[in-house]
């Protein structure tokens, strides 16, 4: 109903302004902005629902504010292009309609009415209501009984005896195993489920409905609700730091914890979560490519399930033979929405429903066969008698091509246990939720029968049976759960660990580099990642009086406020206000302690505008005072007019990159000397090593030869025409992700430059 009302208000606003309002630039702009906001909100709702089937929820909020590295987006490119084109078309049409009476006199009353109706359409829209509710849910007081039901388990298991294999099946919900609804869809894994302790009524709760959230729920016994402070959760170096999770308990009990998946570990911060809670051995797409038999056999997300489960088997066999106490967690990906992937090893490559092949069902049938084969290998080994195997879905399937069929069924998550020490076949039908999974596993291993809000389904009572509407109860506890992040509200003293690249204050740890906006009641961290702007650009958006603390490489702030650090790659701390005073301090110790000291100074807008302009200067236009081109800092010496073909600065220097130009070209402000020595400190990449590299100045050419290690070479040039441009031509640029930023396309590397210096010859 609200959707129809908001649409009616939107159309009424457009009609009244187009037919009655007349010409006025301000009213036209205001109305177009509000109506455009309505369009953007509804497109956001549509796009979110395309992924989640549940509109704009915590999954959308968390995913967009965390790392998207490794996301399999190729199947969403066409829908995304369609949305962008649709947005452009709608805005163009809106602008054209609203200007229909631009030659008529302005009418204040109709303009006001149109704007009020536009605002009403936004307020009535389901998208605005969903976003408003998400924001409001962060600021409520919470429920006073949270501390009664949230229980912290003992940190270790008294006498651990069993190893653990825990398999997360991507979107592999229990519904798929209904043989009446979907005949012969999952016979191999279904047979194993029927021979297990099968928990048949595992419901899904808010904050547990996407992969990282399902993992947190099953291991920590809480939903994943992240602090809505910018993209705060992406900058935290720890994940629910106050919680004791299953991985922590296993590690404290002498287990070596392993996690193996085919996708990138950084997506959604899985690496941070696992490292924060007991996992020291992580394998994702980046780590596996050096060990798998065929690194090129991949889908949009990473390696196929047959590859991943084969690697998991190798780990299981090796660890078992070594007699180690271990846990091995693995996560599949082939059943990922919108329609999954079919691995080449499975015999079940197609599944028909309603007389047509369905890709999502086909992916399920294939993936379950791979999982069953992995389990059967373990069961056939001599090590199964000391092993517990757990199979669970990470969450219910999101909007995929099987969506309509699934929603006709009573949907539950998958969770069953195969015990090698004492086989048991039983269906446990009590009402439970995915937060109970970890507590149930801990109970089997000999530990407590509770973790957080989770309870063992073997010896405890799930909170899903205690509360009639557990979903509402979880949402009431949302502020209490967010407080478990221990997110700081103030910043006074802080410590920088220059070796671990971390900053700690108010009990929290964050990764560097980091920019913080600090006010009396709030600290907002703004991290730098592959999907956010560099910190200096983010700082340029601060208001003149905003207090900031900026921890970054010294040269990045040296150009502004500390010329003595303009060539330093050490850590520095700057703080102050862009329109007031700023100070820069050098981090000169492994453990460097600092204090915030913001002064209430008079704001100088000329100083503010100058700072903003300097912060917005692009890297290649930065200039510093030096007698040589130093490549591990941004920019170039003042004598250089412009340069091209050179990649970004790294700790050691910069690579040439043929994507940016087939040759390295450095143009100087003034003619180079008639005779000079060119001193080049550099190395070669890959097949460029030991090959002749032409170096030209005007009509003069010398040959440079480099190896894989950094060396310094002096070339002698005669430059009678006094040319001002140096050209270096890498002979064989090589496409690679070596040293690349995750998520960026491969670079074409040739030579790695550390320093280039022009020395005028005497005489």
Predicted confidence (pLDDT) per residue in 532-559, tens digit: 678 999 999 999 999 999 999 999 998 8
Q: Angle CA(663)–CA(667)–CA(670) in degrees, nearest 5?
A: 160
Asked if pLDDT for residue 603 goes beyond 70, the answer is yes
Select from 294, 286, 237 the least CA-distant residue to 260: 286
Tokens of 112: 């006001």
Predicted confidence (pLDDT) per residue in 46-59, tens digit: 666 666 666 666 65
17-21, 95-99, 191-195, 743-747: least confidently modelled range: 95-99
Select from 257, 186, 245, 252 the least CA-distant residue to 221: 245
CA distance 644 to 625: 20
CA distance 168 to 181: 23
Q: How confident is the model at residue 65 (pLDDT cuts 50, 70, 90)?
A: low
CA distance 490 to 312: 44
Separation in Å, CA 554 to CA 165, 587, 631: 46, 9, 15
Tokens of 427: 């269906």
CA distance 567 to 508: 31
Select from 45, 63, 47 the least CA-distant residue to 231: 63
Q: How confident is the model at residue 231 (pLDDT cuts 50, 70, 90)?
A: very low
Select from 351, 349, 268, 346 the least CA-distant residue to 307: 346
Q: How confident is the model at residue 140 (pLDDT cuts 50, 70, 90)?
A: low
- Mean pLDDT score across all residues of the chain: 87
The stretch 584-591 carries a mean pLDDT of 95
Tokens of 482: 């967010």
In terms of DSSP bridges, do strands 523-527 and 514-518 run parallel, antiparallel, or are they unpaired?
A: antiparallel
CA distance 390 to 382: 18
Q: What pLDDT, on the 0 to 100 scale, is given for residue 67?
A: 47
Q: What pLDDT, on the 0 to 100 scale, is given for residue 281?
A: 94
Q: What pLDDT, on the 0 to 100 scale, is given for residue 232?
A: 46
Select from 367, 405, 425 the least CA-distant residue to 183: 405
H-run or E-run covering 715: strand 711-718
The stretch 315-330 carries a mean pLDDT of 96
CA distance 542 to 35: 28
The stretch 266-291 carries a mean pLDDT of 88
Q: What pLDDT, on the 0 to 100 scale, is given for residue 272?
A: 83
Asked if pLDDT for residue 69 goes beyond 70, the answer is no
Predicted confidence (pLDDT) per residue in 508-527, tens digit: 888 889 999 998 888 888 87
DSSP state of 582: E
- Secondary structure in 3-state letters for 132-171: HHHHHHHHCCCCCCHHHHCECCCCCCCCCCCEEEEEEECC
DSSP state of 370: H
Contact (Cβ atoms closer than 8 angstroms) between residue 526 and residue 234: no
Q: How many CB atoms lie within 10 A of CB 460?
A: 18
CA distance 75 to 363: 15
Q: How confident is the model at residue 234 (pLDDT cuts 50, 70, 90)?
A: very low
The stretch 244-261 carries a mean pLDDT of 97
Predicted confidence (pLDDT) per residue in 80-121, tens digit: 566 667 666 666 666 666 666 666 666 777 778 877 887 877
**What residue ranges define each of the domains in the chain, with the CATH number in brackets?**
2-139 (no CATH), 146-483 (3.40.720.10), 493-617 (no CATH), 623-760 (2.60.120.430)
State the residue for tokens 């009403």: 120
Q: What pLDDT, on the 0 to 100 scale, is given for residue 7?
A: 76
680: left (phi over 0), alpha (psi -120 to 50) or beta: beta
Asked if pLDDT for residue 726 goes beyond 80, the answer is yes
Separation in Å, CA 130 to CA 56, 142, 144: 6, 19, 25
Contact (Cβ atoms closer than 8 angstroms) between residue 371 and residue 332: yes
What residue ranges in 323-393 does DSSP mark as E strands?
A: 326-331, 352-353, 356-357, 387-393
The stretch 350-371 carries a mean pLDDT of 94
Tokens of 597: 């000291």
């Amino acid at each position: 109903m609200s959707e129809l009302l908001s649409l009616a208000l939107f159309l009424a606003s457009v009609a009244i302004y187009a037919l009655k309002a007349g010409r006025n630039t301000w009213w036209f702009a205001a109305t177009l902005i509000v109506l455009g906001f309505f369009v953007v909100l509804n497109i956001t709702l549509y796009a979110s629902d395309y992924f989640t089937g549940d509109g704009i929820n915590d999954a959308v909020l968390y995913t967009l504010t965390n790392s998207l590295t490794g996301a399999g987006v190729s199947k969403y490119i066409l829908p995304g292009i369609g949305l962008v084109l649709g947005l452009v078309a709608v805005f163009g049409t809106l602008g054209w309609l609203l200007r229909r009476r631009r030659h008529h006199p302005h009418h204040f009353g109709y303009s006001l009415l149109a704007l009020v109706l536009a605002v009403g359409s936004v307020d009535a829209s389901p998208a605005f209501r969903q976003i408003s509710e998400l924001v409001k849910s962060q600021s409520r007081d919470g429920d006073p009984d949270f501390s009664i039901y949230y229980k912290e388990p003992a940190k270790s298991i008294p006498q651990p005896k069993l190893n653990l294999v825990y398999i997360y099946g991507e979107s592999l919900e229990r519904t798929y195993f209904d043989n009446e609804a979907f005949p012969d869809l999952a016979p191999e894994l279904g047979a194993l489920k029927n021979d297990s302790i099968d928990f048949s009524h595992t419901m899904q709760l808010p904050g547990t409905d996407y992969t990282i959230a399902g993992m947190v729920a099953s291991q920590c016994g809480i939903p994943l609700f992240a602090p809505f402070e910018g993209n705060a959760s992406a900058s935290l170096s720890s994940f629910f730091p106050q919680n004791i999770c299953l991985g922590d308990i296993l590690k404290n009990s002498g287990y070596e914890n392993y996690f193996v998946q085919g996708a990138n570990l950084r997506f959604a911060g899985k690496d941070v979560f696992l490292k924060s809670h007991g996992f020291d051995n992580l394998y994702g797409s980046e780590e596996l490519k050096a060990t798998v038999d065929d690194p090129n056999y991949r889908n949009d997300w990473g390696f196929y399930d047959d590859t991943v489960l084969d690697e998991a088997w190798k780990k299981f066999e090796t660890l078992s033979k070594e007699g180690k106490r271990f846990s091995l967690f693995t996560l599949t990906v082939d059943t990922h929405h919108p329609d999954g992937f079919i691995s080449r090893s499975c015999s079940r490559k197609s599944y028909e429903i309603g007389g047509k092949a369905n890709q999502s069902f086909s992916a399920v049938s294939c993936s379950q066969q791979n999982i069953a084969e992995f389990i059967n290998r373990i069961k056939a080994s001599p090590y199964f008698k000391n092993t517990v195997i757990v199979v669970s879905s990470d969450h219910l399937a999101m909007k995929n091509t099987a969506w309509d069929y699934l929603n006709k069924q009573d949907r539950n998550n998958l969770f069953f246990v195969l015990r090698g020490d004492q086989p048991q076949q039983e269906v446990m039908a009590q009402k439970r939720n995915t937060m109970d999974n970890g507590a149930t596993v801990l109970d089997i291993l000999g530990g407590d029968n509770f973790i957080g809000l989770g309870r063992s389904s073997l010896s405890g009572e799930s909170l899903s049976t205690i509360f009639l509407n557990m979903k509402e109860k979880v949402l009431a506890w949302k502020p209490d759960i967010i407080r478990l992040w221990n997110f700081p509200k103030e910043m006074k003293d802080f410590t920088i660990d220059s070796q671990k690249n971390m900053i700690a204050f108010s009990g929290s740890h964050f990764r560097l580099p980091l920019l913080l906006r600090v006010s009396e009641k709030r600290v907002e961290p703004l991290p730098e990642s592959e999907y956010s702007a560099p910190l200096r650009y983010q700082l340029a958006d601060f208001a003149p009086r905003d207090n900031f603390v900026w921890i970054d490489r010294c040269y990045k702030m040296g150009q502004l406020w500390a010329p003595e650090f303009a060539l330093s790659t050490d850590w520095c701390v700057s703080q102050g206000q862009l329109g007031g005073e700023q100070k820069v301090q050098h981090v000169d110790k492994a453990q460097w302690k600092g204090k915030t000291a913001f002064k209430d100074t008079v704001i100088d807008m000329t100083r503010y505008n100058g700072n903003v302009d300097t912060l917005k200067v692009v890297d290649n236009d930065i200039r510093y005072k030096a007698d040589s081109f130093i490549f591990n800092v941004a920019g170039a010496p003042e004598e250089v007019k412009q340069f091209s073909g050179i990649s970004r600065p790294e700790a050691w220097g910069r690579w040439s990159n043929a994507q940016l130009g087939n040759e390295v070209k450095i143009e100087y402000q003034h003619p180079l000397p008639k005779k000079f020595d060119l001193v080049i400190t550099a190395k070669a990449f890959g097949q460029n090593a030991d090959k002749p590299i032409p170096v030209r100045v005007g009509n003069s050419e010398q040959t440079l030869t480099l190896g894989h290690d950094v060396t310094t070479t002096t070339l002698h040039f005669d430059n009678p025409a006094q040319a001002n441009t140096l050209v270096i031509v890498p002979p064989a640029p090589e496409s690679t992700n070596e040293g690349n930023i995750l998520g960026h396309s491969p670079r074409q590397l040739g030579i790695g430059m550390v320093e280039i210096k022009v020395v005028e010859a005497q005489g």
